[in-house]
Copies of this chain bind each other. A is one copy, B any other.
Amino acid sequence: MSDTITLAHGAGGRQTADLIESVFARHFRNPEFTADDAAILPLGNTRTAFTTDGFIVSPWKFPGGNIGKLSICGTVNDLSCMGARPKYLSCAFQIEEGFPLHALEEIAASMAQTAAEAGVRIVAGDTKVAGRGQVDHIFITTTGIGEVQEGASPAGHKARPGDAIIVTGDIGRHGCTILLARNEFGIDADLTSDCAPLWGTVEQLLDTVNDRSDLHVIRDATRGGVGTVLYEIAAQSGTGMRLHAEAIPVHPAVRGVCGMLGLEPLYLACEGRLVIIAPQDAAPGIVKTLQQGKYSTNAAVIGEVTENHAGQVVLTTEIGTQTMLPAPGGELLPRIC
């Protein structure tokens, strides 16, 4: 391991996991400590989900959202992935001296609107200001409290051979949008981030599945994208993952940009997409429910969990070729969220 912090430590892949394990988990370890999306706390007579996320996206505003909307979506979605109804949020702002007030106003309005849509209340906050050049525009950290719903306990280790792998929509839009918003490549595309609060999506599933325990795994494919999430689940569950390349929904603009730049859409961040792993017989019902939802009309089964190739993700094509998706690592694009 390097002796300084690198961008890869913040990319959400292997190096992030190594840092959590070698520094934070080692010092902080306790029964409720989690390296997952949210910790589950016994508070009074409830099961409470608790999660935090820092947002440092650059630029702070992008097609389809801004850092404020993103900061609510990210934490709402982490709670949702635990089967927890988001109840309360806190938000801490670190702002650069000279940041325009109207921009802060725009960010706060987005946060309020997104929180209202997700049915969550922003109840506490903090504001710090650093001098010019000491923080790049604005960082926001949100922390969320949610109520785990009866019968729901999705977890990364619960994928079972034979399970279907579902994504709730086309992948890689957020990462691709941010990449284009930076204007470093001189590429234009008609593309917006998929950034969205997904509690409504998860609630619909909880309300319609025959058995909530069929929702073996629910994960939001943020930093590192669907590919990284699947590698994590494969490792946690001790299974393999087989994806059908032609079944993976990718927006034509994302496919085009990825083609030009040699990127793999499976490793581009989403901010409004879930990976859901459930038994094959429950999958058609889940996909049908999803396709009726606001943020999941393009939901699809993209593959299945396998007993062989444990810990790996294999990509098959229509013409029968089979390749190993390279293991995630390094940093594809910093400050994506």
Interface on A for B, CB 8 Å cutoff? 1-11, 16, 19-20, 23-24, 26-28, 30-34, 38-39, 41, 43-46, 48, 50-56, 58, 87-88, 90-102, 104-105, 108-109, 111-112, 115, 121-131, 133-136, 139, 141, 143, 145, 147, 334-335, 337
Query: Contacting A87 at CB < 8 Å: which of B43, B108, B124, B136?
Result: B43
Inter-chain contact B7/A122, CB cutoff 8 Å: no
Does B108 contact A143, Cβ atoms closer than 8 Å? no
Q: Are B128 and A56 in contact (CB under 8 A)?
A: yes
A172 to chain B, nearest CB (A): 20
Asked if residues B52 and A91 are in contact (CB atoms below 8 Å), the reply is: yes
Question: Which residues of chain B come closer than 8 Å to A136, judged between CB atoms?
Answer: 130, 133-135
From known contacts A4-B99, A33-B121, infer whether A27 and B108 are also in contact, taking CB-CB under 8 Å: yes
Quick one: copies of this chain in the complex?
2
Residues of B within 8 A of A11 (CB): 129
Measured in the bound complex, the distance between the Cα atoms of B10 and A95 in whole Å is 8
**Once the chains bind, are B5 and A141 in contact (CB under 8 Å)?**
no
Q: A52-B143, A56-B94, A56-B128 are in contact. Are A101 and B32 (CB under 8 A)?
A: no
Complex: chain B residue closest to A90, CB-CB: B52
Among B90, B93, B122, point to the contact of A143 (Cβ < 8 A): B90
Q: In the complex, are the beta carbons of A10 and B128 less than 8 A apart?
A: yes
Task: For A109, list chain B residues within 8 Å (CB).
Answer: 27
Which residue on chain B has the smallest CB distance to residue A35? B125
Knowing A16-B127, A52-B124, the reply to whether A101 touches B10 (Cβ < 8 A) is: no
Does A10 lie within 8 Å of B129, measured CB to CB? yes
| Top 6 closest pairs, chain A to chain B, by CB | A10-B129, A44-B46, A143-B143, A52-B90, A44-B44, A141-B141
B50 pairs with A98, CB closer than 8 A: no
- B-side contacts of A100, CB under 8 Å: 3-5
Q: Report if A54-B19 is in contact (Cβ < 8 Å); known contacts: A101-B2, A127-B10, A334-B131.
A: no
- The answer to whether residues A56 and B6 also contact, given A45-B44, A122-B30 and a CB cut-off of 8 A, is no
30 residue pairs of the A-B complex, CB under 8 angstroms, read A5-B99, A5-B129, A6-B97, A9-B127, A10-B95, A20-B125, A23-B104, A24-B125, A28-B108, A28-B112, A28-B121, A28-B122, A33-B121, A39-B124, A41-B87, A43-B44, A44-B46, A50-B124, A51-B124, A53-B92, A54-B93, A54-B127, A54-B141, A56-B130, A90-B143, A92-B143, A94-B141, A130-B334, A134-B335, A143-B143
Closest CB-CB distance, A71 to chain B, in whole Å?
11
Residues of B within 8 A of A54 (CB): 92-94, 126-128, 141
Chain B residues contacting A9 (CB-CB under 8 Å) are 95, 127, 129
A335 vs B94: C-alpha distance when bound (angstroms): 11
Which residues from B are CB-within-8-Å of A102?
3
Whole-angstrom CA separation of A123 from B40 in the bound complex: 9
Please give the distance in Å from A327's CB to the nearest CB on chain B.
20
Can you name the residue of chain B whose Cβ is closest to the Cβ of A112?
B27
How distant is the Cα of A39 from the Cα of B123 in the complex, in angstroms?
6
Q: How far is the CB of A147 from chain B (nearest CB, A)?
A: 8
Besides A24-B127, A52-B90, 12 new A-B residue pairs in contact (Cβ under 8 A), listed by A number:
A10-B127, A23-B105, A24-B125, A33-B122, A51-B124, A54-B128, A56-B94, A128-B337, A133-B133, A134-B136, A135-B139, A143-B143
